[in-house]
Each structure stands twice: as structure tokens, then as C-alpha cells.
Amino acid sequence: MVDSVFMAELSWPEFAARTQAKAPFFLPVGATEQHGPHLPLGVDVILPTGVCERAAREVGGVVAPTIPYGYKSQPRSGGGQAFPGTTSLAAHTLSLVIRDVLHDLALHGVRRLAVVNGHFENNWPVVEGVDLAMREIRRDGIDDVVVLRFEYWDFVRRETLDRVFPDGFPGIDLEHASLLETSLTLLLRPDLVESDKFPNDGPAQFPTYDRTPVKPGFVPASGVLARAQGSSAEKGQWLMDDHVALISRMVRAEFGL
Ligand SMILES: [Zn+2]
């Protein structure tokens, strides 16, 4: 018997055994997007996958393969689409990917699902995908599927944010390739962080509206929206401990585990 939390590492009989045991399934949803000169394009895949892996171990769950592409990067939250390597899906494409994956998991017996977002802009397209999936699942006569959908970064204690940001939290929409994501990447994949390349051109100063086309200089040239200085694997561990503990507690409570 393979002892793995990753669905892609299970055989089909092992998958079937987990679904019969009513294991909760985690579906991380990421992006392939620039994260400044110091982080890899796959940060939004690496981080939610790492959170889900640990939460799945806590609650006896399974992690479905992470969706590696996300909805388009927006200038005020991710730097926008112009940076080399940022490779995105249209909103409706992402919604349909979510719909199809959830639908097939349900057809194969999964009843407890957690869709874990790791890329800010994915929020509403993923909500739409869950809605479309639930319509199809019910149409197929399956009425006992429960889907939880959330952003992993919301599962953090105020005290932890105060420890990580003694000068005040800049807000999650500016936290792109900045202290939170850099610290968590230092924890999970330090080999991929170039700490001598933290940029100095942030924090971004955005108005409260979008303008298309974007004016030159609107987004910091580095693509980093707040500060990465002060990031550390230790802070990454504080954040990870919160994410895993609070998500596991919520999943247990929702599914009666
Ligand atoms: Zn990110």
C-alpha cells in the first residue's frame, strides 16, 4: 500500500479505498506568474500545495494535483500580464477546469472537498467553477457533496501577522512576492529563492481604480508590490503552522472528522 497524501502517487484501487473511507480531498489552485526577480514563477503552485500536503496529513486527506495556471494577473494585485513568464487562463476557462475536476472527483466517490486558492485573482472564477460543478453533480443525482473554498492566507492569527509585520500589515492585495510569499518559499524551497535580488522599488502606490491600458511606471519595475526585506524561513514556519492548524481545525469541524 502506498502511503502518500498525493492523489497522483496512488493507484486506482488505493484512490478508491480513500474515497470509500470518506477522506477529504484538497484541490490546490495556483498560477504561473512572475513573483519578482528573487522568486520562481511557480510560487502560487508551491505554496498552496505545501499547505495542502501538511493539512492533508493532519486530517487523513488526499491532495489532488494542483491546477498550475490561474486567472490573469492584475496590475494592482499581481503586477499584470506584461511580465515575461506570466501565463494565465481566461476566467471562464479556469471556471470550467474547476467544474470538470470537481465533477469527476464526485463521480468517483469523493464527497468532502476543499478547494484551496493560492493566487489572489483566482477567487471569483473558482467560485464560479464550484457553482457550475455543484449544478452538474446534483444533475447526476449526487446530493451529498460538500465543497469548502477558501484562500489559504486567510487562515492566520492576528498575533502571527503582528509578529511578522511589527510595523503594520500592508494588506493581502499588496502581498505579492513580498514578505509572506518570500518567507513561505524560503521555508519550502530555499533553493529557489535568490535573497541577493530582493528589489527596493516598492511598496507600490496604487489608486483605488483600474486604468486600461496601464500607464508606464504604474507597477514597480520589479513586479514586487510590497517589501520582501525581512523575509525568513522562520517567519515562513510561523505562517505555515497557522495555515495548517487553522485549516485542519476548520476541515475537521465541517466534515465531523
Ligand atoms: Zn503569489
- Decide: residue 196, CB within 10 A, 0-12 exposed, 13-18 middle, 19+ buried: exposed
Find the 12 Cα to ligand 1 centroid distance in Å: 32
Look at residue 203 in the predicted model and tell me its pLDDT: 85
Look at residue 85 in the predicted model and tell me its pLDDT: 97
Look at residue 175 in the predicted model and tell me its pLDDT: 87
Can 58 be counted among the known catalytic residues? Answer: no
Look at residue 200 in the predicted model and tell me its pLDDT: 87
Task: Give residues with Cβ within 8 angstroms of 80, minimum separation 6.
Answer: 73, 74, 86, 214, 219
**Residues 38, 103, 175, 176: which is the catalytic one?**
176
Look at residue 174 in the predicted model and tell me its pLDDT: 83
> What's this model's pTM, rounded to 2 decimal places?
0.96
Render 88-151 in DSSP notation, one character per residue. Answer: -B-HHHHHHHHHHHHHHHHHTT--EEEEEE-SGGGHHHHHHHHHHHHHHHHHTT----EEEEEE
From the first residue on, what is the mean pLDDT of each consecutive set of 10 residues in the chain (257 residues)? 92 97 98 97 98 98 98 93 96 98 98 98 98 98 98 97 90 88 98 95 88 92 92 98 98 97
> Does the bond joining 203 to the residue before it have cis omega, within 30 degrees of 0?
yes
**Residues 53, 175, 181, 242: which is the catalytic one?**
181
Can 128 be counted among the known catalytic residues? Answer: no
Find the 77 Cα to ligand 1 centroid distance in Å: 9
Q: How far is CA 142 from CA 48, 63, 160, in A?
A: 28, 22, 40
Helix (H, G, I), strand (E, B) or coil at 5: coil
Look at residue 130 in the predicted model and tell me its pLDDT: 98
